[in-house]
Structure 1
C-alpha cells in the first residue's frame, strides 16, 4: 500500500471537485458478450459464479484507479483488492458476504472461493472487517437482465469502494450477453478508466482460455 500524489494541478482540481459532492459515485451499465466465456466455463466444468468473480476481480486489479481508496484527505493505492460478493445462506432468504483473497492464479482463487462459500452457508456475515477498504463489493442478480441498478451505501461520509454487479444472461442474435454494472467514486475513477475496465472484460470474454487456464 502507498499514498497517491497527484502531480497535475488539473488532476488535483478534478479530485477535489468530485470529492466534495454529496453523491460522488457514478454508474455505467452495459451488456457484455460472454458467449466464449460461458462456453469455456462449461467445457472446463468450472463453477460459474466463482469464475465470473475471478474475471471481474482480475480486471479491477489490473487498473490502478480501481485499487485507489480515499482515507481522510489522502488517497492510497492497495497492492491488491479483494472481492466481497453476495452468496446464498442456509440461515435466511437474504445474502451473506463472501470475501475471498484475490490471487492471479484462477484455479487457486476458485478453490478458496468454494471453501469460503461453504463456510458462509452456515455462518453468514454481513459486516465488513473494521478498518478495511481493500474490497470490491460484488453482487450477482441472476433473476433479472437489468438495464440499471442503484446501490445502498453510506454517503456521510461516503466510501470509495467500487460496486460491481452482473445479471441474468440472455440471448441476442445467437450470442450470450450479460448485463454488467460498474459503480465507482468519480474523484478516483473517470470515464477513461471505466472504459478500460469494460474493454478488458471484453478481451477476456473473447479469449477466456488465456485467462482461465
Structure 2
C-alpha cells in the first residue's frame, strides 16, 4: 500500500497532514510513504526529517500522489480554477482521500469526488464519542484556536494582561470576556488566566458553569 502526503496549497495553511512520527508508525506497518517536498515547511519540519523515518520525498504533487492508494491532506484538494495545481484531477481513480473536507460547506465538491472515482473520509464528520476520540480532529484544532485567539488578542491589546506593580504605580490586569465555553472557549479561558487576566465567560448551557469556574473564571 502506498500513502501519499502532499503539501498544503491553500492560503495561510501551514499544517501538514502527517508528522515524521506518524510516518515512522506507518513504515513499521509495512506501508510505503511518499511525501511531497516542502510538505512540512510551514510547520518547521524538514524533508530530511521525513526521509529519516523512511519516507520517499517526491519533487512535486503529481509525483507524490501517483499510484497512491491513500492520500492524506489537512484541507480539501484544490479543484480546477482554484490554484496553480488541480489537485483533485491528479488523484488516482479508486484512491482514498482523508482530510478535513467540510462537505456541508462545499456541497459541489461531493459530486466532483464521485465523478473522479475517489472515496473520501471527511475527518470533521467523525462522531465525537469515546471510541473515536483518537480521530477527533475538531477538538484538537479547537484547542489551538482558543489558545491562538487569546495570543492574537494580547498582541493587539494596547496594554498588558497581568497586573504590574512598578515604582511608577500599579497597572490593573486586563479583563477578558469569553463567549462560549466549548473546547475553544475553555482553552481561551485557561490561556487568558495563565497570562494574568481577569476572565469572565458566558455560555447558553448552564452546565458549563462548573467548567468555567474550575479554570478560575467568573460565569456570567
Q: Which range, TM-score by smaller chain?
A: under 0.3
Considering fraction of residues, name the structure with more strand: 1
Q: Higher relative contact order by CA 8 Å / sep ≥ 6: 1 or 2?
A: 1
TM-score of the superposed pair, with normalisation by structure 1: 0.27
TM-score of the superposed pair, with normalisation by structure 2: 0.27
Whose Rg is larger?
Answer: 2
